[in-house]
Amino acid sequence: MSYNATRLTAFATQLLDAAGMDPVKSPTIAQVLVEADLMGHDTHGLGLLGPYLADIGKGELKTQGEPGVIADFPAAVTWDGRRLPGTWLTVKAIDLACARARTQGACSVSIRRSHHIACLAAYLTRATDQGFVIQIMTSAPENQSVAPFGGRAGALTPNPIAAGWPTAGDPVLIDVSMSITTNGMVGRLNKHGGQLPGKWLVDADGNPTADPSVMTREPKGALLPIGGVEYGHKGYALGLLVEAMTQGLSGHGRADPIEGWTGEVFVQVYDPRAFSGLDAFTRQTEWIADYCRKVAPMKGVERVRLPGENGLARRKRQLVEGVTLHPGIMPMLEPWAAKLGVALP
């Protein structure tokens, strides 16, 4: 079954409003979640709404207020997120960074003590549509699910890095976790008795495995960094970089007491107009994009694609035909709709 994207956004907004979220913030949160589903990132879209509503009820996701300003320089800003919605804070940070980049050339915003920020890819076109280059990173210091290279227990989180930049056509959009898979995918497969496509985890004895249940047994296993057992030093190194950029620059992270589901965030926006100019920038980015698309594909591959190409095409199609949600999402939201008195879409 598919759903109209506008109606899904209204439904999510109404649920958040009914749960007590500031009505100024609810539409932004809903839009980010639906945007993730539009692009096909269905572990980080409306599938997160139930847990967000639960955290509102527990007081772990704050509903009112503004971030505290820790530092404010023309091109570098640090906020205390005060446990406010990470989705709303990240949109607010991107808008500020874009505005500052127009005059400063670049702007970075670091956010400590934010709540979870959902799908990073869902934010990127907010900057690339204006001709900007954007990077986003996030980590969750309360979670230790990803093993360091050579280790058999978790120390890090998947620590995704996202980036986007304009070309003469569609932008290039990257959203990559520094672990082979995500906690969301592992949790979904474990719930439904599935197996991962490869040995992307290690059990507590350090044996590579495709069995997601090792993440719920004691002692727990761990997700492997990108590169796995042989080349995981690459994902591990990048994961540590994300920890430094999100927790180090914000001044808050694993060295501090755990407060709940957290997102430490780093947003950076560049304006090509402050460098060689937007036309010069897109002349280069379009050339390499076009060259990659024209490379002869391997056997079994229809054609070479660019990062984000599938997601943008899926988004365009689902805006017309309706959003196809993962089968488990609407049944998970139905009890919340009944509890909060919100009609199903």
Inside any domain, residue 278: no
pLDDT digit string, tens, across residues 38-47 = 999 999 999 9
Residue-wise pLDDT for 245-282, tens only, equals: 999 999 999 999 999 999 999 999 999 999 999 999 99
pLDDT tier at 33, thresholds 50, 70, 90: very high
CATH number of the domain to which 195 belongs? 3.30.60.50
Contact 258, 142 (CB under 8 A): yes
Q: Is 42 helix (H, G, I), strand (E, B) or coil?
A: coil
- What phi and psi values does residue 126 have, to the nearest 5 degrees? -60, -30
Q: Taking 90 as the threshold, does the pLDDT of residue 192 lie above it?
A: no
Asked if 94 and 134 touch (Cβ cutoff 8 Å), the reply is yes
Range of the domain at 237: 67-172+232-271
94 and 165 in a single domain? The answer is yes
Domain assignment present for residue 78? The answer is yes
Residue 5 lies in a domain: yes
- pLDDT at position 218 is 94
On whether both 216 and 72 belong to a single domain, the answer is no
Are 200 and 239 members of one domain?
no
What is the residue-wise DSSP string for 56-124? HHHTSS--S---EEEEEETTEEEEE-TT--HHHHHHHHHHHHHHHHHHHSEEEEEEEEE-----GGGGT
Note whether 186 and 333 are same-domain residues. no
Does residue 186 form part of some domain?
yes
pLDDT digits over 200-224, tens only? Answer: 999 999 999 999 999 999 999 999 9
High-pLDDT (> 70) share of the chain, %: 100
Residue 286 placed within a domain: no
State CA 193 to chain mean position distance. Answer: 25
Residues 151 and 264 both lie in one domain = yes
For the chain, the maximum distance between any two Cα atoms, rounded to a whole number of angstroms, is 56
**pLDDT tens per residue, range 96-136:** 999 999 999 999 999 999 999 999 999 999 999 999 999 99
pLDDT for 193 equals: 87
Cα–Cα distance, 325 to 43 (Å, whole number)? 10
Q: What is the DSSP secondary-structure string of 71-90?
A: EEETTEEEEE-TT--HHHHH
Same domain, 108 and 256: yes
3-state secondary structure of 173: strand
Looking at the domain assignment, is residue 290 inside a domain?
no
CATH number of the domain that 10 lies in?
Answer: 1.10.1530.10
Residue 279 belongs to some domain of the structure: no
Q: What is the pLDDT of residue 92?
A: 98
Average pLDDT, the chain: 97
Structure tokens at 217: 């047994």
Same structural domain, 32 and 106: no
Instruction: Name the percent of the chain lying above pLDDT 90.
Output: 98
What total number of domains does the chain contain? 3
Position 318 pLDDT exceeds 90 = yes
Do 124 and 40 fall into the same domain?
no
Q: Do both 81 and 142 map to the same domain?
A: yes
Compute the distance between CA of residue 17 and CA of residue 243 in angstroms, rounded to an integer.
33
The average pLDDT across 179-184 equals 94
Kindly state whether residue 301 falls inside one of the protein's structural domains: no
Report the predicted TM-score, pTM, of the whole model to 2 decimal places.
0.96
196 and 216: one domain?
yes
